[in-house]
Amino acid sequence: MTLTTATRALAVERLGAYHGARITDVDLASASDETLAAVRAALVEHKVLFFPAQSLDPDSQVLLGRRLGELTPSHPVVRGLDDEHPEIYSLDAADNGFADTWHTDVTFVRRPPLGSILRAVQLPPLGGDTNWADAEAAYASLSAPVRALADQLTAVHDGNREWGYHLAQRGGNQWEDCEYTRLEPVEHPVVRVHPETGRRSLFVNPGFTSHIAGVSEAESRGLLDAFYAHLTKPEHIVRHRWAAGDVAMWDNRSTLHYANRDYGDFRRIMHRVTLRGDVPVGPAAIAG
């Protein structure tokens, strides 16, 4: 069952019990400031938003991103689409642009992105759906003792596993005032407190989290496997089947995502712009 409600003047069709919403009455290229403020609020509330039948191109996608926040360059190790669009991160299946590992974008830097805006540029005839997991719903549905344990943990995030080869082969990019020539692992709290809502989420992901700090390797593996299995339970997931013109937007502070790689040799091209985020904060820091 889907529930249709009007929230702050937007036509919002909720897609799941916890997260995900389709917004059917917004043209992102021509939206007013007031509409975009409502979109920004809906992003935090629903965590992943889908906008069908849009008409964005690289210029208007960058402009939209700038109206919603501050854009980062494409990616720490992947250069932008072209000289005119250094902010656009192009995922092209013909250039090994796949995202078939559950991840939260760019958690291997000190200030991971706040969110992303993704546009379908070229789609395969079938397949290539993208899935988003709700990391707040996952945290909330852990048992109280495991939540209390997770609250105390810190994890190491290391981009080398996914991006080390690319960096060595092609060099890095400019990101957050520095040129990335190597990727230094960073630490983040395992439970993140959302800076806008104060809600807690499980902030670990199979793409970039290498281990839990200060515990044995076996404990780290066991804990991460349990967290990943829990995060990706079907009830924590919303799946999107793409159509031409679709734009998706997600809150990268409270979600993970995974793009199905099930379309053989067909080409699939997606363009992303990425909103600058802040340093993740855990419950201990909030408690003082």
Active site residues: 103, 105, 257, 272
Closer of 38 and 206 to Fe ion (Cβ) = 206
Tell whether residue 247 is a contact of ligand AKG (CB under 6 A): no
Contact status: 72 vs ligand AKG (CB under 6 A): no
Contacts of 74 (CB under 8 A, 6+ apart): 80, 81, 86, 87, 88, 89, 90, 173, 274
Q: b/e string for 246-282 if b means 16 or more Cβ within 10 A?
A: bbbbbbbbbbbbbbbeebeeeebbbbbbbbbbeebeb
* Least Å from the CB of residue 27 to Fe ion: 25
Our finding on whether 91 is near ligand AKG (CB under 6 A) is yes
Using alpha carbons, select from 103, 223, 233, 222 the residue that is nearest to residue 153: 223
Distance between CA 210 and CA 225 in Å, rounded? 12
- What is the pattern of x (binds ligand AKG, CB under 6 A) and - over residues 106-145? ----------x-x-----------x---------------
We find the least distance from the C-beta atom of residue 32 to Fe ion, in angstroms, to be: 29
- Alpha-carbon distance of 74 to 71, in angstroms, equals 9
Which residue ranges make up the site for Fe ion (CB under 5 A)? 99, 105
Q: Nearer Cβ to ligand AKG, position 224 or 259? A: 259
To the nearest whole angstrom, how small is the minimum distance from the Cβ of residue 195 to ligand AKG?
20
**Nearer of residues 153 and 259 to ligand AKG, judged by Cβ:** 259
Least distance (Å) from Fe ion to the CB of residue 107?
10
Nearest approach, Cβ of residue 91 and ligand AKG (Å): 5
Closest approach of Cβ 105 to Fe ion, in Å? 4
Please state whether beta strands 255-259 and 89-92 pair in parallel, antiparallel, or not at all (unpaired): unpaired
Q: Does 62 bind ligand AKG (CB under 6 A)?
A: no
Instruction: Residue 270: name its binding partner from ligand AKG, Fe ion, none (Cβ under 5 to 8 Å by kind).
Output: ligand AKG
Q: Residue 35 binds which entry of ligand AKG, Fe ion, none, with Cβ cut-offs from 5 to 8 Å by kind?
A: none
> Does position 237 bind ligand AKG by CB under 6 A?
no
Our CA angle for 90, 57, 258, nearest 5°, is 40
Residue 91 binds which one of Fe ion, ligand AKG, none, with CB within 5 to 8 A depending on kind? ligand AKG
Contact positions with ligand AKG (CB under 6 A) in 269-288: 270, 272
By CB under 6 A, name the one of 259, 273, 275, 280 that touches ligand AKG: 259
Question: From the CA atom positions of the chain, what is the Rg in Å?
Answer: 18
C-alpha–C-alpha distance, residues 225 and 206, integer Å: 9
CA distance 286 to 163: 32
User: Which spans of this chain sit near ligand AKG (rule: CB under 6 A)?
Assistant: 91, 99, 105, 116, 118, 130, 257, 259, 270, 272
